[in-house]
Structure 1
Amino acid sequence: MNYFAWQIRPAAPDAEQALAAAGYGVLLRRVLAARGCADAEAARRLLEPEQGLSDPFLLKDMDRAVARIRQAIEAEEPIVIYGDYDVDGICATAILYECLSSQGAHVRCKLPTRGGGYGLTRAALENLAAKGFSLVVTVDNGISAVEEAACARKLGLDLIVTDHHLPGAALPEAVAVVDPRRSDDASPFKSLCGAGVAFKLCAALEGCAPEELLEMYGELAALGTVADVMPLVGENRILVREGLALLQETMRPGLQALLESGGYAGKPVTADTVSYGLAPRLNAAGRMDNAAVALKLLLCGDEDQAAGIAARLAEINTERQQAEQEVFAAACRLLEQDPARLRDRVLIVAGEDWHPGVIGIVAARLMERYNRPAIAISLHEGEGRGSGRAPDPFDLHGALAACAGHLVRFGGHAAAAGLEIEEEQLPAFRQAVNAWAAEHAPRPKPAALPLDAAVTLEELTLEQVQQLQQLAPFGRENPTPVLLVQDAVIDGVWAMGAEGRHTRVRLRQGRQTLFASLFGVPPQKFAYPVGTPVEAALEVSVFSGRSGPMVSAHLKAIRPAGLGNLPSEQAAWFEALCAGAALDPLRAAALLPRREDTVALYKRIRGGQVFSGDLQPVFAAQGAENAGRTLASLTALQELGLIEEQDGRWLPVQVAQKRDLASAPVLQRLARQAAAQPAEKGENEDGKPESDA
């Protein structure tokens, strides 16, 4: 797991006092101060932005796009909207379809499938031309379709591109290219999603201010913005805030059915509702089946039909969850059964017939689990299709570009990318991409957990927590506040959820108590028994229960009281060692366990006190300054086959013969590096792989 360095955001001097004088409550003023608001005026600008939605005609080529679409409507030309299979693309397609239909256009929608490839394709354009379409309008794609745009022109198709992705060196030749990220675009807000750009196009076609269309399309624009993880600042804050309010009371049968299917009907609708409830269901259609199912739901006007489609999406999402878990488990097994893979800076895993619709999610989960770039590849008959994710500041697109000779094709950006590869190229590709990473990419820093403020349980009143909601909607660049509670004690632990897969904890601080939920960790894997002094990082909100509104808390992270951040630093050193680095001799010596360290750890393992998902209680018991030695001891015991993981705990394994602890590979590497001996084959003094040449 990641051992976070807990970091309280610094606040400007006297900021909290100034905000208190302006009447802000204790929680809100601390969070505002932590987020750079030094006075009441700065707080007002953050909470109530004066700027509205900008004029759509400030977007480059918007006038040309509007003129050509109006011409097509007047001439009764058939128009096709070419979207994408993710939530943003589906919502953008729905927005523009409804707008054009309301103006009397002859319009159809086309969504690609994952099997057919992302974005415009030559085959799709040829098919559209053969069916008599004369105008193609893309939404949420097309900015990189330079060759496809040339093909469209040869076929006699006029092309209008609307997109929000970063353009390449050349723009596609089209009637209009509307993208706020064009270098020559003068619009003031650059972080619209595809649905946001489509929304602006509709406002331009209607000849009205964008605000006037929020009631018509605000829900869909908000869905696309949140699902595509766009920054929730500026114009996106307006779109999402207004859109979520509309979604709460939606009159759209499709969205009503989606809310009811997920169990969200009648409950407050937040950005989290979209991220974790609605978007996965809509996305599942494109991942597992056909995105047209999700589009049909959004456009559906019949309640009974919408309920049936929503039920089908729920089934598809369950299939997606099962496939995702199977592939993720298989990927983790591949890595953990081959320790050499875990020394790679870029993790690459491949499996026969892994479902291609879930490999992107699996790559993201691997990145989160191992705190480094990860690429998951589905193989079929010697051909592989992969998806990768990378944390800042790693440039995944740059890494793939440097290794393009091993790939059939690739695309994407620094944080996420897709690729196609021949299976026989996998070993060479793994070596090449890790060599590039060693040369160009810094090692990941210890994972950080930003904290907005330290609070007491007594301060977490309903009134104070309600005031925090003024900061919503929460998301990228405006995260949910995380509050630090120190000097608390575990006062109770219970199973939560239908199958007991989650944990409910009661925290006590003096006479005050608070219930908090920990998702994804059942009680038998929770490493903190009743009575344990802890520090807790909490996300708080207001829950409307049967007895009225009450404070609800999510346990974002937990650790033993007083542990500090030293284990996070040493865990980062140990991770670097496992990834092939040659450590400074002093650091290697700090990680090299003494025999008594390993013996003490083994005794704890025999007592069932070592939880595989959270070693922090062991760090506290054996000394925070010895956290690196604890990790090395645990790895050594695992390498020698003396322990194994069972139901969330490390337990001893009965062996026939005595094992020499010093023979463990990890201890031998640490001993060499602590003695400053030459690095072993495959690594140099900077931890960079050496060439075999």
Structure 2
Amino acid sequence: MSASRAQGYTPSRIVSHILSRRGIPEGEDTQRFLFPSLRHLTDPFSIPGICEACERIRRAVHGRERVFLYGDGDADGVCAAALLLRMFEQAGVNCSWYLMHRLEEYDISPATIERIADSGVSLLVTVDCGTGSLPAMEAARARGIQAVVIDHHRGAEALPEPHILVNPIVTGAPPAARYLSGTGLAFTVLRGLASLGCGCADTDTRASVDIAAIGTIGDGVPLTGDNRVIVREGLDRLGDSANPGLRMLVERLGARGSREDVVFKINPRINAPGRFGVPETALRLLIGRREEDLLTALREIEALDRKRAQTTAAALRGIAVDGIPADGIVLVEHLPASMCGILASRLAEERNAPCLVCCASGGVIQGSGRSVPGFDLYEALAHRRDLFLSFGGHSGAVGIRFDRNRWDAVADLWKQATTAARAVDRRTLPDITVRLRDITPALAAELARMEPFGPGNREPLFQADNAKVQRIVRQSAGYQVFWVSQDDALFECAIPENARTDIVPDERVSIVFRIRSSQQGGLYRIWLEVTEMWKSAPEPKAS
């Protein structure tokens, strides 16, 4: 929708109610939410540290200094590194780089600093890591290296002089920018550099928003504020990416530019190399130029992703046999450390409760924990850092290493820290109760303006009461399909077979559902994906 049409748009009663419940009042805030644009992004220089970071990077560019970029090897870190490496390349800067992977420790080691110092590096830039690496920062200072740390994980409150910290979680930031991912922060730094006339033009920065969107989605940060703008704009550009490697990947996967395509198709492949110790393979795809190099990287990525899928499936089968303890902490003896995070994410989603998956290597245990919305896992564990050899993360995820003889103490800490989260009833309540006649193509189009859905912006749930089951049609792809009517409206519904709900023709029911729409062969169709269903109380008769 054009800007002029957006200005004349007034949300319907139903959408206004949903937005109001989510703390988005009518007026300019509604316009920004439903029609996000890059012009709505936070001023980069209002984020603590970015002004100093951009000035330091600009000085390195103009002085032709030797720069070293150190990043995390997950999708967020890979995408952040790709954005900055392309900028340095365009600016003609001699920039070496390294990505840590899931088989290593989480922090930058002082030994790494010694190696890069011997090569003549004067500026270290970290992306998606570095806040907790104080020994490395001290080593860098001692060797005359200044660091620009671009990160969103918790850790040190400040870095030793003369290092520069860009981390809204630690130093604060305007609300819209507080939960930027590592890639989102790298993108914001690029915007700052562009405004200073350094490294890249504003048009080049805008062309890279699709990479920023992939990293943002990959890290699971809330899709609100600047994150929402980045993801919405990036997904719109994904089908025609200016990045040749990303364009090749999107075409190979048949991705259509939805958040689901990024979550289930693109990001697993970008993450796969890092899980097996070679995250540079994914980075080569995003920074490469020559077609033969991109094809080689893509083939390697696909092979590693197949290995990832097989390893995950085997581990899940083993966990299913042994069972998951009620406290959600699992030790898998022969699991690669790189797979702990993906398994913890899967189990936390299935159980709707925090999960910690650990593996053992000699006398050391390494683990990854994943949380659920509304529970700050980092804060729950951080007060016992003394138990761990290394500890890092943010509210939704943590990574830990500890001596095996401390297993009982760590398990007790986990149980105590997550008891409150496990006790919460996390069933999602409907946003609004409607009549079935309220469900129209116009409403479906309005709901589409609320996309992308995800953390911090869940898809709306609706409830309808006293609907009449007309007929049961069939079972299809794990769903029971039936029709309901209310007043003069009739809709097809689908409910998962495992919902354990009896569907009885002519019975009056209440249903909780999401609205689905599709278009095929010129025909437009709306149907209801039902999540809950129960027998309705009779409607009171009008007096």
TM-score (norm 1): 0.67
- Match of residue 514 from structure 1: 492
| 2:462 paired with 1:483 | yes
How far apart in 1 are the matches of 2:109 and 2:194? 30
- Classify the secondary structure of the residue corresponding to 1:448: coil
- Match of residue 434 from structure 1: 415
- Match of residue 4 from structure 2: none
- Match of residue 221 from structure 2: 230
How far apart in 2 are the matches of 1:33 and 1:551? 28
Matched-pair contact (CA < 8 Å) for 2:253–2:265: yes
Q: 1:402 to 1:138 in 2, by over 3 A?
A: closer
Matched-pair contact (CA < 8 Å) for 1:146–1:170: no
Alignment-mate amino acid for residue 220 of structure 2: V
Matched-pair contact (CA < 8 Å) for 1:466–1:542: no
Alignment-mate amino acid for residue 226 of structure 1: I
- Match of residue 88 from structure 2: 100
Matched-pair contact (CA < 8 Å) for 1:261–1:314: no
Task: Please give the per-residue CA displacement for 1:25-58, whole angstroms capped at 9, x wherever unaligned.
Answer: 4653453454456656664354246972233233
Matched-pair contact (CA < 8 Å) for 1:164–1:180: yes
- Match of residue 470 from structure 1: 449
**Structure 1 regions of 5+ residues with no counterpart?**
1-20, 497-501, 564-693
Equivalent runs, 1:513-662 vs 2, <5 Å: 513-514=491-492, 516=494, 527-528=500-501, 531=504, 535-545=510-520, 547-548=521-522, 550-551=524-525, 555=529, 557-562=531-536
Counterpart pick for 1:31 among 3, 6, 18: 18
Equivalent runs, 1:101-180 vs 2, <5 Å: 101-180=89-168
| 2:70 paired with 1:82 | yes
| 2:341 paired with 1:360 | yes
- Match of residue 34 from structure 2: 47
Alignment-mate amino acid for residue 531 of structure 2: A
Q: 1:543 to 1:208 in 2, by over 3 A?
A: farther
How far apart in 2 are the matches of 1:56 and 1:323? 41
Task: Please give the per-residue CA displacement for 1:596-625, whole angstroms capped at 9, x wherever unaligned.
Answer: xxxxxxxxxxxxxxxxxxxxxxxxxxxxxx
The CA RMSD over aligned residues, in Å, is 3.4
Q: 1:126 to 1:377 in 2, by over 3 A?
A: same
Alignment-mate amino acid for residue 420 of structure 1: R
Matched-pair contact (CA < 8 Å) for 1:284–1:316: yes
How far apart in 1 are the matches of 2:442 and 2:321? 47
Q: 1:149 to 1:379 in 2, by over 3 A?
A: same
How far apart in 2 are the matches of 1:69 and 1:23? 44
Task: Please give the per-residue CA displacement for 1:256-275, whole angstroms capped at 9, x wherever unaligned.
Answer: 222223222xx3x2223222
Q: CA deviation at 1:369?
A: 3.8
| 2:363 paired with 1:375 | no
Q: CA deviation at 1:377?
A: 0.9
Among all aligned residue pairs of Structure 1 and Structure 2, give the percentage whose two residues are the same amino acid.
Answer: 28
- Match of residue 285 from structure 2: 297
Matched-pair contact (CA < 8 Å) for 2:495–2:531: no
How far apart in 2 are the matches of 1:436 and 1:473? 32
Matched-pair contact (CA < 8 Å) for 1:375–1:387: yes
- Match of residue 258 from structure 1: 249
Alignment-mate amino acid for residue 256 of structure 1: R
Matched-pair contact (CA < 8 Å) for 1:493–1:530: no
Q: CA deviation at 1:162?
A: 1.6
- Match of residue 287 from structure 1: 275
Task: Please give the per-residue CA displacement for 1:496-531, whole angstroms capped at 9, x wherever unaligned.
Answer: 3xxxxx44734443672336485xxxx6x5645664
- Most deviating of 219-228 and 248-257: 248-257
- Match of residue 622 from structure 1: none
Q: CA deviation at 1:562?
A: 4.1
Q: CA deviation at 1:389?
A: 2.3
TM-score (norm 2): 0.84
Matched-pair contact (CA < 8 Å) for 1:214–1:243: no
Matched-pair contact (CA < 8 Å) for 1:536–1:555: no
Task: Please give the per-residue CA displacement for 1:226-283, whole angstroms capped at 9, x wherever unaligned.
Answer: 222222222222222222111132232222222223222xx3x222322233222212
**Structure 2 regions of 5+ residues with no counterpart?**
1-7, 538-543
Q: 1:55 to 1:41 in 2, by over 3 A?
A: closer
Matched-pair contact (CA < 8 Å) for 2:222–2:457: yes
| 2:210 paired with 1:219 | yes
How far apart in 2 are the matches of 1:216 and 1:368? 33
Q: 1:334 to 1:128 in 2, by over 3 A?
A: same
How far apart in 2 are the matches of 1:79 and 1:408? 30
Task: Please give the per-residue CA displacement for 1:421-476, whole angstroms capped at 9, x wherever unaligned.
Answer: 333332343245435666xx576221221322334555444343122212223232
Counterpart pick for 2:238 among 240, 243, 247: 247
Q: CA deviation at 1:285?
A: 2.1
How far apart in 1 are the matches of 2:17 and 2:58? 52
- Most deviating of 181-190 and 115-124: 181-190
Q: 1:536 to 1:86 in 2, by over 3 A?
A: farther
Matched-pair contact (CA < 8 Å) for 1:494–1:504: yes
- Match of residue 330 from structure 1: 318
Q: 1:348 to 1:252 in 2, by over 3 A?
A: same
Q: CA deviation at 1:397?
A: 3.6
Task: Please give the per-residue CA displacement for 1:282-337, whole angstroms capped at 9, x wherever unaligned.
Answer: 1222223421111111123344543453343233223223322332333343346x
How far apart in 1 are the matches of 2:68 and 2:468? 60
- Classify the secondary structure of the residue corresponding to 1:558: strand
Q: CA deviation at 1:97?
A: 0.9
- Most deviating of 230-239 and 85-94: 230-239
How far apart in 2 are the matches of 1:80 and 1:295? 15
Task: Please give the per-residue CA displacement for 1:383-404, whole angstroms capped at 9, x wherever unaligned.
Answer: 2111122346655445544555
Q: CA deviation at 1:161?
A: 1.4
How far apart in 2 are the matches of 1:374 and 1:177? 31
Aligned pair count? 520
How far apart in 1 are the matches of 2:455 and 2:527? 20
- Most deviating of 96-105 and 167-176: 167-176
How far apart in 2 are the matches of 1:350 and 1:318? 24
Matched-pair contact (CA < 8 Å) for 1:465–1:551: no
- Classify the secondary structure of the residue corresponding to 2:367: strand
Alignment-mate amino acid for residue 538 of structure 1: F
Matched-pair contact (CA < 8 Å) for 1:142–1:161: yes
- Classify the secondary structure of the residue corresponding to 2:531: strand
Matched-pair contact (CA < 8 Å) for 2:207–2:242: no
How far apart in 1 are the matches of 2:346 and 2:135? 34
- Classify the secondary structure of the residue corresponding to 1:375: strand
How far apart in 1 are the matches of 2:178 and 2:388? 32
Q: CA deviation at 1:70?
A: 2.8
How far apart in 2 are the matches of 1:353 and 1:156? 42
Matched-pair contact (CA < 8 Å) for 1:282–1:294: yes
How far apart in 1 are the matches of 2:230 and 2:449? 16
